Amino acid sequence: MITLTPATRKTLWAYIFLAVPIIFFAYFRIYPTLFAFRMSLYDWNPMAIDQEYVGLENYQDIRDDLGNPRSPTRKAFENTAIYIGLGVPIQLGLALLIALMLNEIRRLANFYRLLFFLPFVTSTIAISWVFRILFERQGYINSLLATFSLPPQPFLRSPDQALYSILVVVVWQGLGFAVIIFLAGLKQISQSYYEAARIDGASRWQSFRHITIPLLNPTIVFLVILQSIAFLRMFAPVYAMTVQGSGGPLNSTTTVVLRVVREAFDSNNMGFAAALTVVLFVIILFVTVLQLKLTTRQID
Amino acid sequence: MTAVQQQALAGQKRRPRAGRGYGAGYKVLSYILLTLLGLTMVVPLLWMISTSLKPLEEIVLPNFWPKRATLENYRYVLTETELPRWYLNSMIVAVLSTISVTFFDSLGGYVFAKFDFPGKRIVFLAFLSSLMVPTEMLIIPWFVMSANPIVGSTWVDTYWGIAFPGMITATGIFLMRQFMQGVPDELLDAGRIDGVSEFGLFWRIAVPLSLPAMGALAIFNFLGNWNAFIWPLIVTSKREMMTLPVGIQFFSTEVGSNWHLIMTGASLSLVPLLIVVIIFQRYIVEGIALTGLKG
């Protein structure tokens, strides 16, 4: 029998233990990633036997679409930017406010925390349908408006209101997660800072501005990045809340990922869709690198 | 304690300093605001349940609670639709991937935390880099792979086909690596001297010491897989293989204006989950705070 040195033995065991994960990541993550890059260079049609190499044509198509105000792709990028630009600050602002208040109270704190947390664990599809019906012309929200003598609103049926209606639902559902992360961040701030500030005669606003916000900064950066990426990948709520998952009315709510799914699986335009996902990947990569830069600067 | 912050919320710039337990006014304001905001969190869920109890003729009436509550909608959805089957499918997929993720992510985390071996950095970086690739980029290649007559024709409309993306996760491996670093080396070395096998060291020493982290990992993966939508939507075509979110989407589109049936389906899909979450609330909330994981 062969005797192995302890180091060789450990190496062997490490690879035995990692064998399944390595094969898994290689075949289901890394290979498909490279495959997506390759597909983006082809006029890939799942119905065809041979795929035609087109070089950067799909990327040129995206560029042309972005220059055309009427193209759904351009609309998708614009909408996604609005979802992020409005959704992230509103969601995090509300979540911080709620976390600060939850941190203030003692009695029933767990109960209130549960209220905000509940929507977060609900299925997006089921909850989107709940709101889709709440927003109907004869739905509950319009009957509430009627009790205040306000005119009924079209909400999801109007190209002007649909995006904001969907945004409300997404903010509503994701709020609890941000609240809990903020609460964890607040708990880590030592009380001694506040007491020192109080002794020095700082007002509460000054303490908030100069103690809470700076010390909460890593949490804020973490959440901004995480939620931005979540909004960037938005798909299910738009799919469930628009007629036949169209991202309508008139593409007014469509997102980049919705375009990807439509192009790839409805129009068999898989090369173009793959190119769109590469663009999405580059944006996420950029955001992630930005996070690494921002958080490492924090440590200095 | 954070009356400081409370002041900022109230927008009052200056207020005479009070002693410990100061700011009863802020507390009252907090309770009022929290109650109002909390109501907006639960009213849609209550409305969902109340509508599911309404008969057809009541669904467009403005009353919140049904005048004549009925369980007929539940009977209909549970016996006349495939919802029970979708439930079963979601359960199978979520349980399978949760077991797999908890085992393999812990094992992977353990190796990265406790072993030094050639190639560790490269393997680690390869796993790390996969974090930056969003699922949305992989669904098209996965779909093409699953249509491959040699390997993939067995993927479409199978539990494996639905579940495989969630079987092992890089996030989980990193999380478990952090935790496994806290397992004392002395304990492992002592076990080695006593002749415990390498797998025994992991299974009988490292795992029992990391159960809280594994619990958090398991819960989040269960929720994530239970609610997963985009890939199950693409990889299932037969109704009997749909998961709950995909089934709810199809069913709701079909019944259209029958709001009471849609709300019954939504209630059936959410309420059991909500009950579990309410019971395990503490654990889940601590898990999020601890790990920053999303469901």
B61 contact partners, CB below 8 Å, separation of at least 6:
B67
Task: Report the run of H or E that residue A280 belongs to, with start and end.
Answer: helix A270-299
In single-letter form, the type of residue at position B245 comes to: P
Nearest of A160, A141, A178, A93 to residue B294 by alpha carbon: A178
Domains of chain B: 76-291 (1.10.3720.10)
Helix (H, G, I), strand (E, B) or coil at A251: coil
- What pLDDT score was predicted for residue B4? 42
A76: its two tokens:
């998708």
The pLDDT score that the predictor gives to residue A28 is 94
How many Å apart are CA B206 and CA B213, to the nearest integer?
12
The model's pLDDT over B99-125, given as tens digits with 9 standing for 90+, comes to 999 999 999 999 999 999 999 999 999
Q: Which of B43, B47, B64 is nearest to A172 (CA)?
A: B43
Residue of A nearest to B164 (CA): A28
Selection from B244, B235, B229 nearest residue B77 by Cα: B244
Find chain B residues with C-beta within 8 A of A236's C-beta: 229-230, 245
Position A299 confidence tier, pLDDT thresholds 50, 70, 90: very low
Instruction: Pull the structure tokens for residue B179.
Output: 């935790």
**Chain B residue at shortest CA distance from A171:** B41
Task: Give all domains of chain A, ordered by start, each with its CATH number.
Answer: 1-32 (no CATH), 76-269+284-299 (1.10.3720.10)
> Is it the case that residue B97 has pLDDT exceeding 60?
yes
Chain A residue at shortest CA distance from B161 = A28
Mean pLDDT computed over every residue of chain A: 91
> Where is mean pLDDT largest: A73-87, A139-153, B49-63?
A73-87
Residue A65 pLDDT > 90: yes
- Please compute, for residue A253, the number of CA atoms within 13 A of its CA located in the half-sphere on the CB side: 32
Closest CA to B86 of B230, B295, B242: B242
| pLDDT of B149 above 80 | no
For residue A194, name the pLDDT band (cuts at 50, 70, 90). confident
Cβ-defined contact of B139 to A264 (cutoff 8 Å): yes
Interface contact A197-B226, CB threshold 8 A: no
- Cβ–Cβ below 8 Å for B17 and A198: yes
Query: Cα separation of B44 and A202, whole Å?
Result: 42
- Across A206-235, average pLDDT: 91
pLDDT of res. B17? 40
Q: Is the pTM of the predicted complex or chain greater than 0.80?
A: yes
pLDDT confidence of residue B2: 43
Q: Do B34 and A101 lie within an 8 Å CB cutoff?
A: yes
According to the model, what pLDDT value does residue B18 have? 39
Backbone angles phi, psi at B131, to 5 degrees: -65, -30
B20/A contact by beta carbon, under 8 A = no
Reading the block at residue A151, the tokens are 């005119």
Q: How confident is the model at residue B283 (pLDDT cuts 50, 70, 90)?
A: confident
Q: Mean of the pLDDT values across residues B35-45?
A: 94
Residue B183 has pLDDT above 60, yes or no: yes
| Closest residue to B140, CB basis, from A121, A122, A273 | A273
- Count the helix, strand and coil residues of chain A and give each as a percent rounded to the nearest 5: 75, 0, 25
Element (H, E) at B287: helix B281-291
Over the stretch B208-260, which tens digit does the pLDDT of each residue have? 999 988 988 998 889 889 999 999 999 999 999 999 999 999 999 998 888 89
Q: Provide mean pLDDT across the span B192-210.
A: 93
pLDDT at B3 (0 to 100): 44
Distance CA(A241)–CA(A168), nearest Å, equals: 12
Indicate the residue of B5, B42, B133 with minimum beta-carbon distance to A208.
B5
Does the distance separating the beta carbons of A204 and B266 come in below 8 Å?
A: no
Restricting to A residues 189-208, those with a Cβ less than 8 Å away from any Cβ of B are 191, 194, 197-198, 201, 203-205, 207-208
DSSP β-bridge partners for residue A42: A53
Contact by Cβ (8 Å): B109, B175: yes
- pLDDT tens digits along A111-137: 999 899 899 888 999 999 999 999 998
Of A177, A197, A264, the CB nearest to B294: A177
Residues 45-104 of A with CB under 8 A from B: 46, 94, 97-98, 100-104
Identify the pLDDT of residue B132.
85
- Percentage of residues in chain B having pLDDT higher than 90: 61
**Structure letter (DSSP) for residue A152:** P
Model confidence band, residue B9 (pLDDT cutoffs 50, 70, 90): very low
Q: Of B4, B248, B294, which has the smallest distance from its Cβ to A194's Cβ?
A: B4
pLDDT, averaged across chain B: 86
Q: Is the pLDDT of residue B64 over 70?
A: yes
Q: B271 CB near a chain A CB, below 8 Å?
A: no
In degrees, rounded to 5, the angle at the alpha carbon of residue A149 between the alpha carbons of residues A146 and A154 is 50
Say whether B140 and A270 touch across the interface (CB within 8 A).
yes
| Residue in B134, B249, B274 nearest the CB of A284 | B134
- Residue of A94, A133, A213 to mutate, testing the B interface (most B Cβ within 10 Å of its Cβ): A133
Residue B22 has pLDDT above 70, yes or no: no
Asked whether the predicted pLDDT for residue B24 surpasses 90, the reply is no
What pLDDT, on the 0 to 100 scale, is given for residue B153? 67
Query: H or E stretch including A133?
Result: helix A124-134
pLDDT at position A295 over 80: no
Distance from CA of A300 to the nearest CA of B (A): 22
pLDDT at position A205 is 83
pLDDT > 70 in chain A, percent? 97
Burial class (CB in 10 A: 0-12, 13-18, 19+), A188: exposed
Q: In angstroms, what separates the C-alpha of B214 from chain A's closest C-alpha?
A: 17
Report the pLDDT value the prediction gives residue B290, as an integer from 0 to 100: 72
Confidence tier at B15 by pLDDT (50, 70, 90): very low
Chain B residues 185-244 with a CB less than 8 Å from chain A: 198-199, 202, 223, 226-227, 229-230, 233-234, 244
pLDDT given at position B5: 44
Which of A45-54, B2-11, B173-182 has maximum average pLDDT?
B173-182
Contact A270, A264 (CB under 8 A): yes
Are the CB atoms for B111 and B177 separated by under 8 Å? no
User: What's the token pair of residue B247?
Assistant: 């089934």
What are the structure tokens assigned to A178, written together?
């941000």
B289 and A180 within 8 Å at the Cβ level: the answer is yes
At B16, the pLDDT band (50, 70, 90 cuts) reads: very low
Bond from prior residue into A249 cis (ω within 30 degrees of 0): yes
Residue B199 has pLDDT above 90, yes or no: yes
